[in-house]
Chain A
Amino acid sequence: MNNNVRSYKAQKVLERMGKKLNRQMVGSLAACVHCGMCTDACHYVLANPGDVTYAPAYKADKIRKLFKRHFDWTGRVIPWWVSAKSVYTDDELEELKDTVFGKCTNCRRCSINCPMGVDYATFNRMARGLLVSVGVMPEGVAVVSKDQWEIGNQMGVLKEDYVDTLEWLSEEMEAEHSDPKATIPIDKMDADIVYSINPREVKYDPRTISDAALIFYAAGEDWTMPSEGWDMTNFGLFSGDDDLGGAVAKRLYDKVTELRGKTLVISECGHGYRSTRCEGPNWAKMNVDFVMESSVDTMLRYIKEGRIKVDKSKNTTPVTFHDSCNNARSCGLTEEPRELLNLVCSDFREMYPNRAENYCCTGGGGAMSMSEYTPQRLKSAKIKADQLKATGAEIVVTSCHNCVDGLADLIKHYKLGMQVTQLVNLVANALVIEKKVAVPVGEVPAEAEALAGRKILVIDDEPDIVTFISAILEDNGATVFKAYSGDEAIAIAQKEKPDMMTLDISMPGKSGIEVFEELRSLDDLKSIPVCIITGKPELRKLIYDRQVLPPEGYLDKPITEEGLLVNVRKILELVHEK
């Protein structure tokens, strides 16, 4: 291609770059002296020794070259002298995309290690935004952004599913505590607290919602959850799209204002906290007149004020804490989670390095949604894996849903055998609740009867997993059929007509995705609910991309007994109601 002819997209990127630049970014773009002090700060570099393309200064120069060529004196007059270079083709934009999305999680670790104070993460985000504005982005970023623009949350959870889940959780809690006050209020006006969550909680981890609800209930809090505008995550932070960032943040702020809530509590999510609490007002260009706080602060306050009682002897397994980059390096939320952990756990072990110097979970910056970069993400996760292993802990706690997925993925990949959990789960587990109403033991339905009469087909090529899942379901009264391959699963399903199925995605031969599609295409089986179970979260999209009805549930490996039962019961209840 003639280098004097610039593609439409390249032209737009350069035009928009001029509008995006602010003084902070210009300073960072102009000030680098190529000293290389940032190099070892990056987990990608440490995991890929010798590969210079991962060095922060090298990556930053991909953007800096454009800046110098078009905005800086020397670069405009004698570009070769300062290695300034323009961009002409769409292929060059694709290359830039692979750098800014695929080789950096915007974790900001290099920024705090730069003697000059060059904030690479900030202008890397700008570069992401420029590419997104011309449609050059990883497919996962496009899909998630679209969901957040159009449906209002980044996982495309429909309002009825969200409200159904809350109502179901609410009913469970009310039944469990035999107290009409033990509920999840929705759209309650003038509540002291409006609780916002990550859509991942509704879709894959409802236990975090019920645990938070339990804590609010135990604290006697006047709280509510909004029926709309409830997603506190914001993909604008990852995609660099300030318009999306502003729209999402405003949606949430407007809802809190409409409900006349006094405090917006943000559930444990690093990027959600940073987006809602810190960046949102800037993107939305509005001043927020209510208080916003992390649920970590809320829980800690409840304990300090004596509103809830906790017993740390209920959490005795050794735990360590992973600081989310967005919480620690961009919002200073480092001490409160530790204080809380020490109140609810008896064996907390510090990770090194920690707080603002901690390494990224390697799934940050939206990396979990970019399946094309999964191999390099998992390779770079070696640094985090070594860090986790050195703690000797069995559970890693983190205040970030993104980190939960990132850590779970690397723990599986590096066979660390650790579990990932959040503070809300530990606090809920440590709660000491005085029963408001005494219920005779005989009247409580036995737990073993919960799935009585249900026929469930468990499909997984790993015998250990099949045994594990089957044992849990059988212990709860279900009749379980086992299939170790796709063909076997379809044959059993046609013969037994189970009430639901659990399905692994990664199986040799016929994959779970093919099995799922086939199940949905068969008239006699398509209405049977399916819960997808996989250790590869990045494959979710493949399932949801199919031109068939989506699965009724989804679970990440490693599976916990509680998580499995909650999901299975929810699916069966919802299907039964329909």
Chain B
Amino acid sequence: MSDLLHFSEHILQEVALVFMAIVYTLRLTWLLRFKAGGDRQAPTGTAGYTTPRRGIIYSWLNIASPWAMESTRTQFFFYIQFVLFHLGVVSAIGLSFVIPYAPSLLESSLLVLILQISVGAAFAIGVGRMIRRIFAKYIRAISTPDDYFSLLLLTVWFGFAFFAVPNSTVNGEWHLLTYFFLTAFFLMYVPFSKISHYLYYPFTRYYLGRTMGHRGVYPIRRAPRTQN
């Protein structure tokens, strides 16, 4: 292992992580500086059906309940892509810890296969999403340079993660170096980009769930389509 690769796997990652943690802390502080709106009303909806707490849990779990939202029910293929894409993110991030701190885990060819399938699928979905963002009229209309760049960054990162998974330097270090430098850049760029959405997710979902639970809306009820 070259000094450069060792640096990119350790010091560079640690600095990037610390930087990200600091910026995230500042970001959360910024968000919490805004006053949270309250709700003075007595609860509405069918008595005993739901509570703010139930609404919050339902809201948080919405993303794992594709049947809960019409948008995920009717666009199930897109939902599956979403799941695979984010599993790829988890795998690629996990890989950046496994390689420097627990490389022996990658001696398991099964784990290598699973990780490669995961990031490989995410790469393919990333390419598909980029095509969609460029060619789908509605998506193109709402896309910003950050949207394109963030997606491109992640997709390329998945590509290099795919080759980095075996943690092999037999054919050189370029793929591992690129993966770790991209990871470091990714960690530092995230707080300033749309990728930081997961930082807000617990808050947006918490408040929406609290309100909708207090008002008897969450969990959503519906009757199926029937023939009249």
Contacts and interface: CB of A to CB of B under 8 A. Distances in A.
B144 A117 contact: no
A328 B222 CA distance: 11
A329 B217 contact: yes
Interface string B34-71: 11111111101110011000000001001100000111
Cβ-closest 7 pairs across A and B: A332-B216, A332-B45, A281-B40, A52-B141, A31-B200, A117-B204, A113-B71
Given A33-B197, A336-B46, A23 B139 contact: no
Interface string A387-401: 000111100000000
Contacts of B217: 112, 328-332, 356
B136 A36 contact: yes
Interface string B202-228: 011101110110011100111111101
A304 interface: no
B226 A31 contact: no
Interface residues on B, range: 35 or more
A114 B36 CA distance: 21
A355 interface: yes
8 contacts: A24-B36, A34-B144, A55-B138, A58-B138, A116-B200, A117-B62, A285-B40, A357-B70
B77 interface: no
Contacts of B192: 73-74
Contacts of A357: 70, 220, 222
B222 A34 contact: no
A61 interface: yes
A552 interface: no
A111 to B, nearest CB: 7
Nearest to B226: A350
A335 interface: yes
A54 to B, nearest CB: 10
Contacts of B32: 23
B93 interface: no
A78 B222 CA distance: 44
Nearest to A278: B41
B64 to A, nearest CB: 10
Contact of A81 (B37, B62, B138, B146): B146
Given A27-B207, A350-B228, 12 more contacts: A21-B34, A27-B204, A35-B82, A52-B137, A55-B141, A116-B205, A119-B207, A277-B44, A355-B221, A355-B223, A356-B222, A392-B228
Contacts of B207: 23-24, 27, 117, 119
B78 interface: yes
Interface stretch (A37-45, A195-203, A377-385, A555-563): A37-45
A417 interface: no
B222 A41 contact: no
B193 interface: yes
Interface string A1-42: 000000000000000000001111111101111111111110
A335 B220 CA distance: 12
Residue with the highest number of chain A CB atoms closer than 10 Å, among B78, B138, B207, B223:
B138
Interface of B: 27, 30-32, 34-42, 44-46, 49-50, 59, 62-63, 69-72, 74-75, 78, 82, 136-139, 141-147, 149, 192-194, 197, 200-201, 203-205, 207-209, 211-212, 215-217, 220-226, 228
A23 B36 contact: yes
A80 B201 contact: no
A4 B203 CA distance: 35
Nearest to A80: B145
A356 B208 CA distance: 14
Contacts of B147: 33-34
Interface string A145-170: 00000000000000000000000000
A125 to B, nearest CB: 12
Interface string A267-296: 000000000011111100111100110000
B34 A23 contact: yes
Interface string A353-374: 1111100000000000000000
Nearest to A61: B142
Contacts of A333: 44-45, 216
Interface string A301-342: 000000000000000000000000000111111111000000
B4 to A, nearest CB: 30
A424 B163 CA distance: 68
Given A27-B200, A353-B70, A34 B44 contact: no
A477 B205 CA distance: 63
A285 B30 CA distance: 26
A58 B146 contact: no
A331 B138 contact: no
Residue with the highest number of chain B CB atoms closer than 10 Å, among A30, A61, A117, A352:
A117
B40 A26 contact: no
A115 interface: yes
Nearest to A330: B215
B228 A74 contact: no
Contact of B146 (A74, A278, A279, A281): A74
Contacts of B211: 24
A343 to B, nearest CB: 16
Contacts of B78: 37
A112 B197 contact: no
A38 B72 CA distance: 10
A292 B205 CA distance: 28
Contacts of B49: 332
Interface string A95-117: 00000000000000001111111
A23 B203 contact: yes
Contacts of A35: 82
B34 A281 contact: no
A349 interface: yes
A292 B42 contact: yes
Contacts of B71: 37-38, 40-41, 113-115
A282 B41 contact: yes
Contact of A31 (B50, B136, B197): B197
A282 B38 contact: yes
Contacts of A390: 228
Contact of A22 (B37, B46, B209): B37
A81 B144 contact: yes
A420 interface: no
A82 B221 contact: no
A82 B62 contact: no
Contacts of B30: 73
Given A50-B137, A278-B41, A282-B39, A117 B208 contact: yes
A83 interface: yes
B29 to A, nearest CB: 12
Given A33-B197, A115-B71, A352 B225 contact: yes
